[in-house]
Amino acid sequence: MTIATGAPALPRAGLTRQAAGLRLVWLHLLSRRVPVALIALAVCGAVLRAALVWHWGPGSGNAALQLPALFEIGTAAVIAVTTYSPFGEPERATGRWLPWLRLGTALGLTAAAIGLLGAGAAGESLPGGILAIVRNVAGAAGIGLLLAAVIGGALAWIGPMAYLVIAEVALLQAWTSPWTWPARPPHDRGAAICAALVFAAGITITAVRGARDSAGD
Amino acid sequence: MTTASISLRARVPRVRARPLAAAGRLLRLELRRNPMVWLLLPLGALMGFSPYQVSMEYAPVWNLRASVMLDHFLPLVAFGAGAAAWMGSREARRRTTDMVTTTPRPGWARKLATCAATTCWMLVAYACLVALLYGVTARQATWGGPVWWPVAVGGASLAVSCALGFAAGMFIPSRFTVPLAALAVGMAALMGVSHSTNPYALLSGADGIPPSDIGVFYRNPPDLAVIQLMFLIGLGIAAAGALGLPASSGGPWLRRSAAAVTVVGLAAAGTAVGLTGTASVRPTGVVIPALHDAAGDGPIGYTPACSGVVCIHPAFRAYLADLVTAFDPVLSEVAGLPGAPARADQIASSDAGDVGALISGSPAVFRFALPATSHSFIGDLDTTLVTLFIGGQPAAKGNGGTPAQQAVESGLLTAAGVQGADSAALSQASPAISHAAARFAALSRVARRTWLATYLPALRAGHITLVEVP
């Protein structure tokens, strides 16, 4: 009897687990407002395209890199604020897969930001090209993710915005430090390593510990 | 019960009789509870980084440093818009909208107080930046006094970015509003940097770094600053009025007042946009015919600061010793030759042409303008002097003239002991030119002068070939 009832139940249980897994992922993405984030990233890509087509930014020299840097760092700020969780402690206490969900969300959004900005710049002469987009978005997102672990996801936008100030000066004064990667050429190995380190640190800490719960502003 | 009723009745009229005091108290509360207080320190550090540090790398000329400060405002206005958007979404974020709607103060007044407090803290940080920048400039400047139009435009830019960010946060209370508001305001500021393609981008405060002598030789007309202020204040008023438009902001008359304020603000901004269409960009600044006072267009009188044969404007007195050190060897190397400048005078960059320098007059005088930054400009100027003397304006505009002219220019600079005589243009010269230049520099001073005295007209005319250079 047990075998008879259990045998057909096995595939159904597997299906349920898979469906439950998908539902868990979907609910996690919803709780982080990922669909809205994707729309925001798409808007950034569209505005970048408009800015390139109608030449809204400075046209030559290092100043021309200000325009892509603004969008790359802006999208990083969007990624950073998705780490905010409305559930806090209960979610951490019950969510066994939470680190993997956080990791997947941050990686997926970073890839989406790179893809959407790249699509926005497709066919136009974007200073720095796609390599610079990959490096700058990843590095700035790493700063945002690191700050999310320190001061909370809702305020994590402060990190990329503060880095924007440094990047702007570095661009206009042609700094050579690899830590100011938006001012370095796209093939600069040191800048790529620095950005990758910051991204790896940010995504690891945020995935393992999550964004800090902030009670107030 | 009776006592309580009496007590309540006694309090209500007192509060209603002093609405401004209540608004002041609300503002004080918001100032104390505003998270911008905690952001002041990092914001101050960022302001010290840029625009303060960047401004200090330019000559201590009041107009120049103020313009550089405004040109590096992009991250600050973006930051201000983000912070204000964060505050604008506070009630929705904390889910207290229903609770605060029941308070006696109108929603518009409540939101204006929060917006004003955020703006106040941004302006406090900005005032500290201006005080530091102008305080240090006052100690370094050798001519003129502080200019306040750019300071006002900078303050208005910050206030408007806060008002717009706050409105965005209030109307779209999402976690993504903050970065997107910052991005939008940053983009608007960035558009001002590329104003050459669109005159309306002049409305942005960040309209490029002007020549170093802006407002030194000729008065810099305040027309553009007036228009920018009108546009920014109009936008700020419109954003503040828009905060009172939702139904939760107050009664019908209050919302009508808010609508009227919004319309007035938009009208002011629209007028500024219309006037900008009539702007003409002149070497001394932007002129708006409807606002321009032509009486102040003439040159500003001054007594030049001179040392030996070099004279400059007193605003640049700090560079006089370096200029004398740079010009003296070059001038003595060519002294007495036909058309050789006997002295060097600074002129306005608007009078210096494309090259930024010219040799004119009888006896000839080398007239030069100082570039915006102090980085290696002296090396450029002595190279320009020699290039103008040998090859004239076409050579100075191009790559130094014919191969023979380039070789002689390089040889003269080397003989005069100019550091880095193989400047950018000359360093790209062919080995043959470099070899001829070294040969010419190795001649004795008498031999060089004798050859130049004989062949200078032919060299200038381009009739001397490289092999004919001794």
Please enumerate residues of B whose Cβ is less than 8 A from a Cβ of A.
35, 39, 42, 46, 49-50, 53-54, 72, 74-76, 78-79, 82, 86, 90, 93, 174-176, 178-180, 182-183, 186-187, 190-191, 193-194, 197
Extents of the domains making up chain B: 19-296, 305-468
Strands B343-346 vs B280-282: parallel, antiparallel or unpaired: unpaired
Nearest beta carbon to residue A40 from set B53, B79, B176: B176
| Coil, helix or strand at residue A173 | coil
Number of H helices, E strands in chain B: 19, 7
Interchain proximity A217–B35, CB inside 8 Å: yes
Looking at the fold, whether A104 and A126 belong to one and the same domain comes out as yes
In a domain, A66, yes or no: yes
Q: pTM (2 decimals)?
A: 0.83
pLDDT at A127: 81
In a domain, A217, yes or no: no
Name the CA dihedral angle for B465, B467, B468, B470, rounded to a multiple of 10 degrees: 140
Establish whether this prediction's ipTM goes over 0.90.
Answer: no
Looking at the fold, whether A13 and A88 belong to one and the same domain comes out as no
Residue A113 tokens read as 């930001």
Domain count, chain A: 2
B186 contacts in chain A (CB < 8 Å): 70, 74, 164
| Coil, helix or strand at residue B465 | coil
Looking at the fold, whether A187 and A92 belong to one and the same domain comes out as yes
Looking at the fold, whether A46 and A145 belong to one and the same domain comes out as yes
Looking at the fold, whether A168 and A62 belong to one and the same domain comes out as yes
Number of A:B CB contacts under 8 A? Answer: 110
- Stretch 86-145 of chain A: residues touching chain B, C-beta under 8 Å: none
In a domain, A215, yes or no: no
In a domain, A14, yes or no: yes
Name the CA dihedral angle for B206, B208, B209, B211, rounded to a multiple of 10 degrees: -130
Please write the tens of the pLDDT for every residue from B359-401.
888 889 999 988 766 555 565 788 888 888 888 877 777 777 8
> Residue B215: left (phi > 0), alpha (psi -120 to 50), or beta?
left
The closest of B46, B89, B242, B69 to B180, measured between CA atoms, is B89
Looking at the fold, whether A103 and A1 belong to one and the same domain comes out as no
CB contact at 8 A, A211 and A156:
yes
pLDDT at A135: 96
B161 contacts in chain A (CB < 8 Å): none
pLDDT at A7: 45
pLDDT at B131: 95
CB contact at 8 A, B259 and B246:
no
B46 contacts in chain A (CB < 8 Å): 162, 165-166
Residue of A nearest to B33 (CA): A217
Q: Which domain holds residue A83?
A: 37-209
Nearest beta carbon to residue B49 from set A58, A78, A166: A166
In a domain, A143, yes or no: yes
Interchain proximity A165–B53, CB inside 8 Å: no
pLDDT at B54: 85
B368 phi/psi in degrees, rounded to 5 = -135, 155
Looking at the fold, whether A129 and A198 belong to one and the same domain comes out as yes
Residues 6+ apart with CB under 8 A from B99: none
**Helix B74-88 vs helix B36-47: crossing angle, to nearest 10:** 170
The percentage of chain A sitting over the pLDDT mark of 90, rounded to a whole number, equals 53
Which residues are B287's β-sheet partners?
B280
Interchain proximity B54–A57, CB inside 8 Å: no
CB contact at 8 A, B210 and B281:
no
- Spatial separation of the C-alpha atoms in residues A110 and B253, rounded to whole Å: 48
Interchain proximity A56–B178, CB inside 8 Å: no
Rounded to 5°, angle at Cα B300 from B294 and B303: 170
HSE-up (13 A, CA, CB side) for residue B450: 6
> What residue ranges of chain A have pLDDT lower than 70?
1-15, 59-60, 214-217
Residues 6+ apart with CB under 8 A from B112: B240, B243, B244
Check CB contact of A78 with chain B, cutoff 8 Å: yes
CB contact at 8 A, B47 and B125:
yes
Check CB contact of A161 with chain B, cutoff 8 Å: yes
- Spatial separation of the C-alpha atoms in residues B265 and B179, rounded to whole Å: 26
The closest of B392, B422, B410, B421 to B448, measured between CA atoms, is B410
Q: Cα distance from A113 to chain B (closest Cα, Å)? A: 14
Looking at the fold, whether A176 and A92 belong to one and the same domain comes out as yes
Identify the residue among A151, A168, A179 best suited for mutation to test binding to B, counting B beta carbons within 10 A and taking the highest: A168
- Stretch 1-40 of chain A: residues touching chain B, C-beta under 8 Å: 33, 36-37, 40
Check CB contact of A158 with chain B, cutoff 8 Å: yes
In a domain, A214, yes or no: no
pLDDT at A214: 66
**For every residue of A35-51, which 3-state class applies, written as one string?**
HHHHHHHHHHHHHHHHH
Looking at the fold, whether A8 and A54 belong to one and the same domain comes out as no
Nearest beta carbon to residue B54 from set A59, A70, A169: A169
Residue of B nearest to A214 (CA): B94
Rounded to 5°, angle at Cα B404 from B401 and B405: 40
In a domain, A1, yes or no: yes
- Spatial separation of the C-alpha atoms in residues B411 and B455, rounded to whole Å: 15
Interchain proximity A165–B49, CB inside 8 Å: yes
pLDDT at B126: 93
B49 contacts in chain A (CB < 8 Å): 165-166, 169
> What residue ranges of chain B have pLDDT lower than 50?
1-5, 423-425
Identify the residue among B175, B196, B373 best suited for mutation to test binding to A, counting A beta carbons within 10 A and taking the highest: B175
Nearest beta carbon to residue A157 from set B93, B179, B191: B179
Identify the residue among B43, B57, B187 best suited for mutation to test binding to A, counting A beta carbons within 10 A and taking the highest: B187
Number of H helices, E strands in chain A: 8, 0
A105 contacts in chain B (CB < 8 Å): none
Looking at the fold, whether A17 and A80 belong to one and the same domain comes out as no
Q: Cα distance from B114 to chain A (closest Cα, Å)? A: 14
CA distances in angstroms from A199 to A67, B139, B406, listed in the order given: 22, 44, 51
Looking at the fold, whether A17 and A45 belong to one and the same domain comes out as no
**Helix B177-193 vs helix A34-53: crossing angle, to nearest 10:** 10
Looking at the fold, whether A7 and A108 belong to one and the same domain comes out as no
